[in-house]
Homo-oligomer: A and B are copies of this chain.
């Protein structure tokens, strides 16, 4: 499993993530996106209206890796935040889903390679980065 149960549970409560991709000229962009963690495949799938026409989709199709952060503010007084950042290899799918034969998909798919979470695990203090296979 790329993600822990606590991380998966947290992700399911959040309506948006923010996705970073890199243009071929090296400049980053970042956008709010809808996302879904697929526990069976161990990937993050990002959809959206007219996704294949978007710059983020073209960035990934051109070879960009991707990072998505899902985070929120639990309390302002005292200041308490939590979140998960997932970095990985990315695919721009606009046709058959290679991992789900017979299904079509227009998505950006992230294969997690590094995961960093904070405030998500019970008793978690500070940031916990780890590499995943």
Contacts and interface: CB of A to CB of B under 8 A. Distances in A.
Given A15-B73, A15-B76, A73-B16, A66 B28 contact: yes
Nearest to A113: B27
A31 B69 CA distance: 7
A42 interface: no
- Identical subunits present: 2
7 contacts: A15-B73, A22-B28, A27-B87, A28-B64, A28-B67, A29-B87, A32-B71
Nearest to A69: B30
A81 B30 CA distance: 15
A36 interface: no
A69 B27 contact: no
Interface in A28-47: 28-32
